[in-house]
Amino acid sequence: MNQRKTTLHMAGAKKAGTRLVLLLFTVVVLLPIIWTIYTSFKTTTEFLANPWMLPKGLYWPNYTNALEKGNMVAYFKNSIFVTLLGLAFLVLLAVPTAYVTSRFKFRLARPISLLFMSGLFVSQNYIVVPIFLSLNKVQNYLNQYVEFQHLKLTDNLIILALIYAVCSLPFSIYLLSGFLKTIPDEYENAAKIDGCSYGQTLFLVIVPMAKPAMVTVLMFNYMEYWNEYIMATTLMQERRWTLPVGLVNLMEQQKFATDWGAMFAGMVIVMLPTMIIYAFVQKRLTEGISMGGLKG
Amino acid sequence: MRNIKKILALMCVASLGTAMFAGCTKVSDVPQNSDETQAAEAGEETATDGSEKVLNVAVFQGGYGREVWDTLAERFEEEHEGVTVNVTANPKLGDVIRPQIMSGNPPDVIFLSATNESGVLQSLIQDKALECLDDVFDDEMKAKFVPGSLDAPTISPYGDGKIYAAPLFYSTMGLFYNKTLFAENNLEVPKTWDDFFELGDKAKEMGIGLFTYAAANDPSYNEIVFNPAIASAGGPELLEDCFNYKEGAWTSEPVKKVMGVYQKIADGGYLLDGTLAMTHTQSQEQFLQNKSLFIPNGNWLENEMKDTPRADGFAYGFTGIPVFEEGDTPCVWSNIEEIYVPSAAKEIDLAKEFIKFLYTDDSIMTLAESTGAIPPIEGAADLTKSVLSDSVYETYAITEKGYTPVTGGFAMTEQSEISIRDDIYNTLNSIMAGEKNVDEWSELIESDSNKLSEIVLK
Amino acid sequence: MAKVNTKLAGKFSKSKFQRKLFIAECTVPAIILFAVFMVYPAINVFYMSFFKMSSLSLEKKFVGLDNFKVLISDTKFWQVFRNQIFFIVVVTIITIILALFFAALLTNSNLKEKPFYQTVFFFPNVLSLVVISTLFIQIYDPSKGILTATCNALGIQVAEQGWLGMATSSRWCIVAAMVWQAVGYYMVMYIAAMDGISKDLYEVADLEGMSKFKQFFAITMPLMWEIIRVTIVFFIISTINMSFVYVKIMTPTGGPDGKTEVFLTYMYKQAFTNSNFGYAMALGVFIFLFSFALALISDKLTQKETVEY
């Protein structure tokens, strides 16, 4: 009895210790963000005082400055568009390929998956310029023809989304294949007996089962697309910039204009929508990663 | 029966294929079928071209801001019927226009100086992709310019006297200080480096730094000190030799003496704390707060910092670079900012017209008024004196105080992995951090210089 | 009888054909797009590395392997190489250890606020790298940053020349930002893996009197080794790419004494600031081969018999 009590006590102490460590890291994660938020309301003179100090009031002109100078609303729309479209392209391309190469036995299965695997080592960052040059060549060629007179391949959000999707194919196929391999054959056989075509089997049987892995893949890539900076700066002109490009631009402007307030406000503007969305989907999100995991 | 099925299936595959390549086949069909429409459209285009021309002007959005360019564009539009001027202004202008240049659609006029990190002007020179501006610079025009200002390697890069970039702004750069702070503390503007370091000790007593600069994003602001100091210690010929990669120039005594100044700033603890992590505006901000006695800078400083809070009674003062021995020629750095026309531009004539327009008295006044910058034209400083602020006028008048302006730039070379400016100024940061010494510094630059001397553009 | 046979044969060949058709439908679009947007540009990088050209006109002059010869003798490049290795090794190790630590802590403790920690720790991942870099610049700022202010308040000696200004501290500043961002993500992944391990194993171990600490190395680690392996390989590649954005924004000049310059920032500098495009492409080729080799090596080194209980 007594011994039991002490173990309970010890467990309690342990729990407290665990909590302490976890809370410490919570502070490390949250503090910079909270600091950014309240600092964004400081006036220029308040910036010269102790950085920890709270602002005396809410100084909103920082936000109007950032929105006007930074054009953040438009960039936000562009970012959402590219990310969602990129994910749609990705699902359409990656899921069928991963399915076929991982579960069908045919002569080219291995070469195809190796081909995509090799793409894992090609970084977007150094194929940007060749892509840009080729797109321009094709565009100049196509522009000779009436139908394509006004076609733009660079500075085109749809193409950007497509490039994002293609560049993330290697990793996504690699991940999905790993998961799809673990699905027992019985499901497909059953589907076959029920008279499902291959396409039906894929979309009605396999895809729902692969949901966790797909969520993982989508999450990985959502972040890739949302954060991507180099491709967007190179391919897009000012009107079609995405949020990261806009923020860097705001930061550059700040370097010449010393408008610290607008700069912090800009950061909050970029963070806030993500924070709100995250608040809604976080459960699904972490669950998705948990369920999908990286099953070999 | 079986065959029919096979054929049907094959047709399916084929149709799948054509669906995929539909775009392509259509393309090749189009020109034959629709020559007419194409011609009509082309005609339409030339028609609009005739009445309406668009001039794309891309300008670096730095200390000078963008408003002045909008004003000038508007005036140019008024003077030229049917012309629209599009101004693109961006602090990362290089990143913005590089894709345009690569795709063969460059802006018509580019204002982005050779000292910018983007390297756009250097690339255009190396590729021989700049439009010759001799039309703009006829003899009459040339005569107006300050002697030497049209010979710089970025202005006339190929050594044939032809001008490929126009020197739009000319400025004299040196050390800024706060007149009020100096007066209150009985400090004297230094003539020699010894005076300078004496001030350093006083600064220490006052609990502030002697010197600060844009270490984190642009340590090359130090050319304002470094280059004229070399010219003053070893004569302008030595600086010339350094710029032309002459053997031994970078390991010569005078150069090492100049490098030693930085060593001394570092060793003596005269550098303002935190400088190495500051961008140019951050260091300027500290300077305005009386945290440092001196900052090397140019005449855009006042305009760039116009909205920044400063110490009470702050008054800009400006001086040249100290000398080693009394009797040495005191020097200041003068710099030219280029404006140029890529040869692939659509509106070359209009672009040249625009550059000419910038050199008219009216434009000079407008530019001077809002940026404080003037072109290297004889008498421009006096012309604009009424609209220049005192500190800015002082930068131009420094030559009257006995300071000789020196200028120049590294001889252009073929592509190389070496970036000698980076090596000089990033190592300067390392000196300041106490991580390298003068000998290592001068040897590194000498070895760069030897390699570059072999690939100088002729 | 014969009739039946043909029918069967017909059905068989039809399904075989449909199968092929399906395989083609599934793979061909992806392969074509992949070839257009990745393979072809990558080949182009190799191709252009044999030329001398600038970043703007791309007028080429064939120079054979000259760019690679330059690369071998370029002392700057080898410094960049060492920096990159530093980031790969340090960031990977710290992140994975912290992620495993927090994952183990959360799985074992059964705290009721576990989802809260998970949510918070994961949060930095939804922020753009650009935001994170900008945020950390502000934290490290010598006059406006909270780090210096805090150190001053606590009486801790601070880096006199600013955290990002000194060669010794600047790279650790970037490491901190990278770790801050990545820990949560890997933690969530590891938690998933740990949750997947049967509780029975731990109960048996408990009965045998094995400490939690020992259990971690005897049960948890071997069983989730496969996942750790995959994350390591993934992490190495992503570190090469992500360090680029951090460095480009936090230390635009490549840091004091070039201490934070990494592969891709150096490549960009050569391509654009230095207008030496051919050489930059040679660097690109090197980076490709390097990351490929590194991934293979780390995959081999971490290869163990997959354990299944």
Show me where the domains of chain A are located: 1-39, 58-292
Query: If residue B20 lies in a helix (H) or strand (E), which one and from where to where?
Result: helix B2-33
Q: What is the ipTM of this complex?
A: 0.83
DSSP state of C124: G
Domain span at residue C120 reads: 83-260
Distance from CA of C23 to the nearest CA of A (A): 6
Q: In chain B, what are the domain boundaries?
A: 52-171+335-392, 173-333+409-453
Beta bridge partners of B55: B85
Disruptive mutation site among A154, A156, A238, A255 for chain B (greatest number of B CBs within 10 Å):
A255
Q: For the residues B162-188, what does the mean pLDDT come to?
A: 93
Residue in B26, B63, B95 closest to A256 by CB: B63
pLDDT at C56: 72
Nearest residue in chain B measured CA to CA from A43: B309
Tokens of B289: 């707060």
C164–B433: do the CB atoms touch at under 8 Å? no
Output phi, psi for B90, to 5 deg.
-155, 140
Of chain A, the percentage scoring pLDDT greater than 70 comes to: 90
pLDDT at C6: 45
In chain A the first and final C-alpha atoms are separated, in Å, by: 46
User: What's the distance, CA B379 to chain centroid?
Assistant: 23
C151 in any annotated domain: yes
Q: Which residue has the higher pLDDT, B158 or C83?
A: C83
Beta bridge partners of B175: B296, B319
Tokens of A12: 């309690």
Nearest residue in chain A measured CA to CA from B40: A146
Q: Is A38 helix (H, G, I), strand (E, B) or coil?
A: helix
Confidence of residue B458 (pLDDT cuts 50, 70, 90): low
Disruptive mutation site among B92, B289, B306 for chain A (greatest number of A CBs within 10 Å):
B92
pLDDT at C254: 82
Chain A residues with CB inside 8 Å of C182's CB? none
Chain C residues with CB inside 8 Å of A51's CB? 141, 144-146, 148-149
Q: Indicate the fold that domain B173-333+409-453 takes in CATH.
A: D-Maltodextrin-Binding Protein; domain 2 (3.40.190)
pLDDT at B289: 92
Distance, CA of A15 to CA of A21 (rounded, Å): 10
Q: Which DSSP string do the residues of C64-97 spell out, in sequence order?
A: TTHHHHHHHH-HHHHHHHHHHHHHHHHHHHHHHH
Residue-wise pLDDT for B57-101, tens only, equals 999 987 787 889 999 999 999 999 899 999 988 888 888 888 788
Q: For the residues A261-288, what does the mean pLDDT come to?
A: 78
pLDDT at B30: 42
CA-based nearest residue to A233, from A223, A243, A220, A221:
A243
pLDDT at C259: 86
Nearest residue in chain A measured CA to CA from B24: A142
Disruptive mutation site among B8, B13, B417, B436 for chain C (greatest number of C CBs within 10 Å):
B417
Chain C residues with CB inside 8 Å of B99's CB? none
B104–A44: do the CB atoms touch at under 8 Å? no
Q: Which residue has the higher pLDDT, A277 or C214?
A: C214
Q: Is C157 helix (H, G, I), strand (E, B) or coil?
A: coil
C33 in any annotated domain: no
C161 in any annotated domain: yes
Distance from CA of A64 to the nearest CA of C (A): 19
Distance, CA of C53 to CA of C138 (rounded, Å): 38
Is the pLDDT at B26 greater than 70, yes or no? no
pLDDT at A251: 79
Confidence of residue A90 (pLDDT cuts 50, 70, 90): very high
C161–B433: do the CB atoms touch at under 8 Å? yes
Is the pLDDT at B35 greater than 50, yes or no? no
- For domain A58-292, the CATH class is mainly alpha
Q: Is B23 on the interface with A (CB under 8 A)?
A: no
* Domain B173-333+409-453 in the same topology as domain B52-171+335-392: yes
Parallel/antiparallel/unpaired status of strands B404-406 and B331-340: parallel
Domain count, chain C: 1
Q: For the residues B285-308, what does the mean pLDDT come to?
A: 90
Chain C residues with CB inside 8 Å of B129's CB? 56-57
Distance, CA of B290 to CA of B181 (rounded, Å): 7
Output phi, psi for B298, to 5 deg.
-120, 180
DSSP state of B456: B
Are residues A47 and A274 in contact, defined by beta-carbon separation less than 8 angstroms? no
Tokens of C61: 């002059």
Residue in A101, A167, A278 closest to C38 by CB: A167
Distance, CA of B381 to CA of B379 (rounded, Å): 5
A267–C241: do the CB atoms touch at under 8 Å? no
Output phi, psi for B336, to 5 deg.
-120, 135
Q: For the residues B171-176, what does the mean pLDDT come to?
A: 91
Chain A residues with CB inside 8 Å of B289's CB? 48
Q: Could you read off the pLDDT tens digit of each residue along chain C, which spans 309 residues?
A: 444 444 444 455 667 888 888 989 899 999 999 999 999 999 999 999 999 887 676 678 899 999 999 999 998 999 999 999 999 999 999 999 999 999 988 888 778 888 889 889 988 988 888 889 989 988 888 877 888 888 878 877 766 677 888 878 889 999 999 999 999 988 988 888 888 788 888 888 888 888 888 888 888 888 888 788 878 887 888 888 889 989 988 888 887 778 899 999 999 888 877 878 889 999 999 998 898 888 788 778 776 655 545
Tokens of B303: 């305009």
CA-based nearest residue to A292, from A231, A221, A228:
A221
Is the pLDDT at A19 greater than 70, yes or no? yes
Q: For the residues B247-261, what does the mean pLDDT come to?
A: 95
Q: Please give the angle made by the CA atoms of B155, B160 and B162, to the nearest 5 degrees.
A: 45
Are residues B165 and B133 in contact, defined by beta-carbon separation less than 8 angstroms? yes
Q: Please give the angle made by the CA atoms of B333, B339 and B340, to the nearest 5 degrees.
A: 135
Distance from CA of A165 to the nearest CA of B (A): 18
Diameter over CA atoms, chain C:
98
Look at B168-177, B190-199, B291-300, B369-378 and tell me which has the smallest mean pLDDT. Answer: B369-378
C213 in any annotated domain: yes
CA-based nearest residue to A133, from B336, C205, B255, C277:
C277
pLDDT at A287: 64
Is the pLDDT at A97 greater than 70, yes or no? yes
Distance, CA of B356 to CA of B363 (rounded, Å): 10
Q: Which residue has the higher pLDDT, A144 or C248?
A: C248
Question: What stretches of C208-262 show up as alpha helix (H) in DSSP?
Answer: 212-215, 221-223, 225-250
Which CATH number do you get for residue C173? 1.10.3720.10
Distances (CA, A) of B104 to A126, B56, B108, C269: 21, 14, 11, 22
Are residues B150 and B156 in contact, defined by beta-carbon separation less than 8 angstroms? yes
Distance from CA of B3 to the nearest CA of C (A): 10
Q: Which residue has the higher pLDDT, A175 or B39?
A: A175
Most confident of A169-178, B263-272, C113-122: B263-272
User: What's the distance, CA C168 to chain centroid?
Assistant: 23
Q: What is the architecture, at CATH level 2, of domain B52-171+335-392?
A: 3-Layer(aba) Sandwich (3.40)
Distance, CA of B392 to CA of B385 (rounded, Å): 9
